């Protein structure tokens, strides 16, 4: 964490990069179910609290960007209206800088320019970037090369072996005094140069000294499908605490013409009785998730004694349990549920129920099982007095030694 007064953050997310495969630019591709850009925005906002935050996006990406923002725990609060990018990265950054100028960012402010495809930046790296720019006006993170470097002709013949001791690969965030960076970009554009691949090159071209500070091996750029696979393995490796929770619930039939199951309205010749909407399936799933967290049960968090939960949609309870998983830095890997009743028939509604539960939990429907059985006319479910539901939830959390 760093004090971020007079800091602006510009995330370059306008690229069309599809080398990774699929039909959408890589910054919107999902990494363990969350858009890559969402992870990058979350890391930046955490590393530079209080900074002016703005992305540069492609003109066609309004909806994808809104979805990425919406997936942030804060819902996107604090992120300024995005700037619209240009045909090259350099032009996209220029547009973002002009948006910062229009927003009144001061010339002495430090601007961090960061690639959307680098989600793993740390607070320490951001602090080094800000310190570097404050000392020198322009500073970029660099890493020494571990492999020997060769200059190679198109024919494959080696033409030279530069001394790697003086070479660095550079990353982002690159940090600059705002007036230095804006002037350099305007100058490059006026002279018709649009293809410089990083901001250090734009500032170097303007004759300003740029310094390298220590980068971070973990701050990788995701480009290929393999990069995404490795990044997912890394994220999953951090979620080594595997939990399995169970939930069970029963509601009795009463007067009515429908029941709520997993947030889906299922027509029936009775309703279910309860303080809330009596969604027996949503309640069992909610308790399964809370059980995996060892965080009480639905009645502890939403007491039936409180009038405000009377008639409440049970999706509220389930969404709250999901938020508790996210607050712990975890994810829901899978949910499986069984409804026990003679009627209504569940089969025709099964997929709608799975999809709705998945939507509330913000996971893929392929991670939600919903099954149904009768109890062969035995017991209270067999006599048609109500519906019982069982659920299990598999939750992965960061391992904490306690
Ligand atoms: Mg209940």
Classified by CATH at the fold level, domain 241-397 comes out as 60s Ribosomal Protein L30; Chain: A; (3.30.1330)
Distance in Å, CA 76 to ligand 1 centroid: 33
* Chain centroid offset of residue 90 CA: 26
Distance in Å, CA 246 to ligand 1 centroid: 14
Distance in Å, CA 176 to ligand 1 centroid: 56
- The torsion angles phi and psi of 31, rounded to 5 degrees, stand at -120, 110
240-274 pLDDT, tens digit per residue, is: 999 999 999 999 999 999 999 999 999 999 999 99
Distance in Å, CA 293 to ligand 1 centroid: 19
Distance in Å, CA 142 to ligand 1 centroid: 56
Q: Tell me: pLDDT of 154 over 80.
A: yes
- What is the predicted pLDDT for the residue at 401? 62
Q: Tell me: pLDDT of 19 over 80.
A: no
What residues does each domain of the chain span? 7-237, 241-397
Average pLDDT, the chain: 94
More confident residue, 160 or 20: 160
Distance in Å, CA 250 to ligand 1 centroid: 6
Question: Residue 135's closest CA among 74, 216, 210?
Answer: 210
User: Average pLDDT, stretch 171-192?
Assistant: 97
313-332 pLDDT, tens digit per residue, is: 999 999 999 999 988 989 99
Parallel, antiparallel, or unpaired for β 138-144 and 151-152?
A: unpaired
Distance in Å, CA 249 to ligand 1 centroid: 5
Q: Tell me: pLDDT of 2 over 60.
A: no
Distance in Å, CA 306 to ligand 1 centroid: 15
Distance in Å, CA 287 to ligand 1 centroid: 9
DSSP codes joined into one string, 246-272? EEEEEEEEES-SEEEETTEEEE-SSEE
Distance in Å, CA 307 to ligand 1 centroid: 15
Q: Which CATH superfamily is 7-237 part of? A: Spore Coat Polysaccharide Biosynthesis Protein SpsA; Chain A (3.90.550.10)
93-105 pLDDT, tens digit per residue, is: 999 999 999 999 9
- What is the predicted pLDDT for the residue at 190? 96
The rounded percent of the chain whose pLDDT value lies above 90 is 89
Distance in Å, CA 386 to ligand 1 centroid: 12
Distance in Å, CA 280 to ligand 1 centroid: 5
Distance in Å, CA 383 to ligand 1 centroid: 19
Q: pLDDT category, 402, cuts 50, 70, 90?
A: low
Distance in Å, CA 358 to ligand 1 centroid: 19
CA–CA gap between residue 143 and residue 28 (Å, rounded): 27
Q: Tell me: pLDDT of 17 over 80.
A: no
Distance in Å, CA 281 to ligand 1 centroid: 8
Distance in Å, CA 213 to ligand 1 centroid: 57
- The torsion angles phi and psi of 202, rounded to 5 degrees, stand at -65, -40
Distance in Å, CA 363 to ligand 1 centroid: 23
Q: Tell me: pLDDT of 22 over 80.
A: no
- What is the predicted pLDDT for the residue at 308? 87
Distance in Å, CA 354 to ligand 1 centroid: 19
Surrounding residues of ion ligand 1, Cβ less than 5 A:
249, 283
Q: pLDDT category, 24, cuts 50, 70, 90?
A: confident
Distance in Å, CA 299 to ligand 1 centroid: 8
Distance in Å, CA 394 to ligand 1 centroid: 21
206-216 pLDDT, tens digit per residue, is: 999 999 999 99
Q: Tell me: pLDDT of 72 over 90.
A: no
- What is the predicted pLDDT for the residue at 3? 45
Distance in Å, CA 262 to ligand 1 centroid: 12
Distance in Å, CA 279 to ligand 1 centroid: 7
- What is the predicted pLDDT for the residue at 4? 58
SS (H, E, C) the chain: CCCCCCEEEEEEECCCCCCCCCCCCHHHCEECCEEHHHHHHHHHHHHCCCCEEEEEECCCCHHHHHHHHHCCCCCCCCECCCEECCCCHHHHHHHHHHHHHHCCCCCCCEEEEEECCCCCCCHHHHHHHHHHHHHHCEEEEEEECCCCCCEECCCCCEEECCCHHHCEEECCCEEEEHHHHHHHHHHHHHCCCCCCCCHHHHHHHCCCCCEEEECCCCCCCCCCHHHHHHHHHHHHHCCCEEEEEEEEEEEEEECCCEEEECCEEEECCCEECCCCCCCHHHHHHHHHHHHHHCCCCHHHHCCCCCHHHCCCCCHHHHHHHHHHHHHCCCEEEEEEEEEECCCCCCHHHHHHHHHHHHHHHCCCHHHEEEEEECCCCCHHHHCCCEEEEEEEEEEEECCCCC
- The torsion angles phi and psi of 56, rounded to 5 degrees, stand at -115, 120
293-317 pLDDT, tens digit per residue, is: 999 999 999 998 888 888 889 999 9
Distance in Å, CA 256 to ligand 1 centroid: 17
Distance in Å, CA 340 to ligand 1 centroid: 14
Distance in Å, CA 263 to ligand 1 centroid: 13
Q: Tell me: pLDDT of 138 over 60.
A: yes
CA–CA gap between residue 260 and residue 283 (Å, rounded): 11
pTM: 0.81
Distance in Å, CA 191 to ligand 1 centroid: 69
Distance in Å, CA 323 to ligand 1 centroid: 20
């Amino acid at each position: 964490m760093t004090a971020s007064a007079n800091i602006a953050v510009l995330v370059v997310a306008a690229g069309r990069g599809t080398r990774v495969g699929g039909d959408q630019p890589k910054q919107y591709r999902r990494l363990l179910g969350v858009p890559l850009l969402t992870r990058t925005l979350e890391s930046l906002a955490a590393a530079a609290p209080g900074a002016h935050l703005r992305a540069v996006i492609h003109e066609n990406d309004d909806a994808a960007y809104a979805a990425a923002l919406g997936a942030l725990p804060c819902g996107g609060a604090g992120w300024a209206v995005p700037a619209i990018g240009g045909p090259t990265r350099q032009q996209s950054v220029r547009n973002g800088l002009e948006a910062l100028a229009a927003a009144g960012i001061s010339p002495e402010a430090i601007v961090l320019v960061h690639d959307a495809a680098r989600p793993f930046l740390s607070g320490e790296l951001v602090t080094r970037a800000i310190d570097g720019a404050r000392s020198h006006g322009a500073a970029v993170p660099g890493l020494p090369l571990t492999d020997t470097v060769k200059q190679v002709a198109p024919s494959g013949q080696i033409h030279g072996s530069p001394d790697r001791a003086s070479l660095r690969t550079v990353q982002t965030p690159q940090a600059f005094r705002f007036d230095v960076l804006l002037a350099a970009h305007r100058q490059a554009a006026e002279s018709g140069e649009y293809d410089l691949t990083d901001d250090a090159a734009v500032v170097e071209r303007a004759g300003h000294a740029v310094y390298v500070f220590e980068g971070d091996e973990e701050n990788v750029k995701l480009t290929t499908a393999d990069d995404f696979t490795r990044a997912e393995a890394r994220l999953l490796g951090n979620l080594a605490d595997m939990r399995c929770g169970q939930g069970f619930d029963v509601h009795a039939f009463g007067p009515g013409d429908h029941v709520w199951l997993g947030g889906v309205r299922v027509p029936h010749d009775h309703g279910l009785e309860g303080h809330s909407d009596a969604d027996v399936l949503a309640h069992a799933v909610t308790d399964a998730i809370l059980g995996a967290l060892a965080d009480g049960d639905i009645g502890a968090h939403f007491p039936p004694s409180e009038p405000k939960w009377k008639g409440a949609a049970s999706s509220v309870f389930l969404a709250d349990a999901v938020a508790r998983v996210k607050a712990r830095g975890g994810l829901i890997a899978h949910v499986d549920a069984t409804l026990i009743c003679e009627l209504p028939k569940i089969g025709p509604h099964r997929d709608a129920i799975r999809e709705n539960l998945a939507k509330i939990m913000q996971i893929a429907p392929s991670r939600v099982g919903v099954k149904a059985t009768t109890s062969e006319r035995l017991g209270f479910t067999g006599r048609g007095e109500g519906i019982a539901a069982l659920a299990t939830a598999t939750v992965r959390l960061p391992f904490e030694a306690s």
